[in-house]
Structure 1
Amino acid sequence: MATQSPFPFLDGLFERIAQGPRPPDWLVNEAQQRLVLLINHVLMQERAATERLIPRKGRVVRVQWRQFFVALQVTPAGLFDLAAQGGTPDLRFEVTETSPLGLAQAALRGDRPPVRIDGAVDFAGDLQWLADNLRWDIEDDMARVIGDVPAHTIASVARSAAQALRGFVRKSGAAAGGAVAPWSGNGPLP
């Protein structure tokens, strides 16, 4: 016999907490616009990338993680713009790892997150080529603002810190039997 909760407002509380708060639409739009600017900045550094996308003009890719998504449309210049809302994407990428900690650990190990791909295979192949061959040269961008020497110094320190962090994550993962032990919140980090 099923019993009802004496606190009906608690029904589904954990599900609502797990979904997290929804950011306001204006903030989501601004973040997506900035993401498009960054992606296009990286694309414009490599002519082969834009040339590869030009034949795909008008195609839409939707990338989703949990309730967050962005839909991008290829422009005639071989760049990206936000796609019109409500359109049907030609390609869908859904990141299947739902844990932010799991995504961060995978990134620190240098692994790509697990994704489910649905849609146009040729378009997916072009985007895979972009992911494999494009890198943001942040040191060059910083050098334009603060100069070559400070930019090189900052980039070197950042690379060393990232390498040390990756080594730490690998050692922690090996000690935990292949998986990084979760931190309980009590005591020092594992």
Structure 2
Amino acid sequence: MATQSPFSMLEGLFQNFPLPLTPPAWAIEESHRRVVLLLNHVLQQEPQATERLARQKGRVIHAQWREFTFRVQATAAGLLDLADTEATPDLSLTITEVSPFAIAQAVMQGAKPSVRIEGDVQLAAEVNWLADHVRWDVEEDLSKIMGDAPAHMFMQTCRTAGQALQQFVAKRAPAGSTGTTP
């Protein structure tokens, strides 16, 4: 007898639950600003990433998943800034998987979610390089707040929990699903 994932019920609920309330425009803009700050913090830890982005100065990247959109522009410093909502994107990235649980499952298996890419090939190659090579050193940032030993212990606990979750997801994945980008 096949067992269902406990998340399948939640997934069905989220897909069928209408969400008529949208956050106010100021809340969306502020959340975008916070994401840009986080992305720039991570980019600054990798000099080659900022060099690559600096070569793409002024180029606009539009990312979308379902009704959520995010538009950024590369700066001369090799960082990101929010782009004008009316700016024509040089590159559009659309996550094609609609289920947040399927995306999480793919990520937990070490795969990237399926993405439709349209636009400048060189900019797409740079974004792909960034996605493959730039990683946030969370433990280093936490150590600045709570000290080295507690940060290390916290991250080790998170890694153990993540591995357990990854094993759980791998056992529940349907046979033949790879989660790779077409």
User: Which interval holds the TM-score relative to the shorter structure?
Assistant: 0.7 to 0.9
Counterpart residue number, 1:83 = 83
Consecutive unaligned residues of structure 2, counting only runs of 5 or more, are 1-14, 178-182
DSSP-derived class of the 1:61 partner: strand
Counterpart residue number, 2:153 = 153
Aligned-pair identity in percent equals 47
For residues 2-46 of structure 1, the C-alpha deviation after alignment (integer angstroms, 9 at most, x for no partner) is xxxxxxxxxxxxx99556532221111111001000100000001
DSSP-derived class of the 1:118 partner: strand
Consecutive unaligned residues of structure 1, counting only runs of 5 or more, are 1-14, 180-190
Q: Which amino acid aligns with 2:52?
A: R
Counterpart residue number, 1:177 = 175
Structure 1 segments (4+ residues) deviating >4 Å:
15-20
Separation (CA, whole Å) in 2 of partners of 1:21 and 1:116: 28
Counterpart residue number, 2:7 = none
Q: Does the C-alpha gap of structure 1 residues 139 and 74 become closer, same or farther in structure 2, counting only changes over 3 Å?
A: same
Q: Which amino acid aligns with 1:48?
A: Q
Counterpart residue number, 1:127 = 127
Q: CA deviation at 1:128?
A: 0.6
Give the paired residue count.
163
Q: CA deviation at 1:113?
A: 0.6
Counterpart residue number, 1:23 = 23
For residues 72-103 of structure 1, the C-alpha deviation after alignment (integer angstroms, 9 at most, x for no partner) is 00011010000012110000000000111211
Q: Which amino acid aligns with 2:128?
A: Q
Separation (CA, whole Å) in 2 of partners of 1:107 and 1:20: 28
RMSD: 1.7
Give the TM-score normalised by the residue count of structure 1: 0.81
DSSP-derived class of the 1:128 partner: helix
Q: Which amino acid aligns with 2:175?
A: G
Give the TM-score normalised by the residue count of structure 2: 0.85
Separation (CA, whole Å) in 1 of partners of 2:176 and 2:21: 32
Q: Which has the larger radius of gyration?
A: 1
Separation (CA, whole Å) in 2 of partners of 1:107 and 1:27: 27
